[in-house]
Amino acid sequence: MSRNVAASVLRRALLYVPSSSPKFLEKSRGLKVDSIAYDLEDSVTLENKQMARKNIVDFLSGERPKDVGEIAVRINSVSSGLALQDLTEVLKSQHLDTLVIPKVNSPSDLHFINDILRHSLPSRHPSTPSNSSNPVKILALIESARSIINLTSICQASPYLHGLIFAAEDFSLDLNITRTPSLDEFAYARSHIATCARAFNLPSTIDLVCTSYRGNEGQARLEEESLQGKGLGFNGKQCIHPSQVDIVQKAFAPGEGEVEWSVRVVIADKKAEKKGKGAWTLDNKMIDAPVTGKAREVLKKAELCGFNTEAMMEKWKDQEPE
């Protein structure tokens, strides 16, 4: 399945907000965050499911939160028998951008969602040619050994699929393992998720929740986990409290030094190309096609994150290849 990665996708932080709480729903209007997933699953008890559906439908019928980049809803899993009821309600909202699907263990879980979306919202299929359309997107939660084994086929199971999310706590339960501060027990699963997402051109790989975040020690732990995930190839992280958002979004954004270096590389590369140089040096470091390609990707993300790359380009306009 071919797929174009949307250049405008930014999901550094994906914040869960329980749909069972009108107070938290209303508070979310004032948040500034890349993505909010309004939750109908784990944070909502069985007896409150219908109330939570009504809450989120009523909430999304109002004004769209102005500083929230993406509005998602985490529905209940297909295996729970509650997904159809969730979708019947939440697909009514024009503000809905994305569905977060939990416990995706095999392609059949996404096939079920595909069929409903095709029949309910044909105008929002990714292949529908329309400048004004906003295709529905899916983020799949990877939570079990079975989902890891089936990940290659899951990545090809839906034209709506836009990314993978690693659910470490459920994964720990499934494998009967204990989460440790090093997170070494998740090394294979996390690497496999990041690699498969890249192999199938999915824009987002969203890492595990940091469960300790209060106080200076918790914030330091959150930053450490975020940078570790970034180093593994993830480009975002799940958040369970608004206080986590700024730390996570800063960690998954390019640093100012990285952006400035990328500006210099891109400017010098244009000049090197005119001189017929395929490889050259900058600050005594070899620069070739993979390095310049990475620099261009950094600048694309930097612009999305609010960096003034034009000003940096002007500052370094005289940069020459060495």
What are the binding residues for substrate? 74, 143
Binding site for Mg(2+): which residues? Answer: 143, 170
Rounded Cα gap, residues 204 and 304, in angstroms:
15
Rounded Cα gap, residues 162 and 172, in angstroms:
24
Residue 86 corresponds to which tokens in the numbers above?
A: 């969730």
* Number of other residues whose CB lies within 10 A of the CB of residue 4: 8
Q: Which of 16, 192, 28, 231 is nearest to 102 (CA)?
A: 16
Burial (CB count <10 Å: 0-12, 13-18, 19+), residue 127:
exposed
Q: Where are the beta strands (DSSP E) in the chain?
A: 13-18, 33-39, 68-74, 98-101, 137-142, 161-166, 204-207, 236-239, 280-282, 285-287
Q: Which of 23, 19, 79 is nearest to 50 (CA)?
A: 19
DSSP 253: S
Under 8 Å between Cβ of 120 and 89: no
CA 97 to mean position of chain CA atoms: 13
Residue 152 corresponds to which tokens in the numbers above?
A: 């290659």
Q: Which residues partner with 165 through β-bridges?
A: 141, 206
Binding site: which residues? Answer: 74, 143, 170
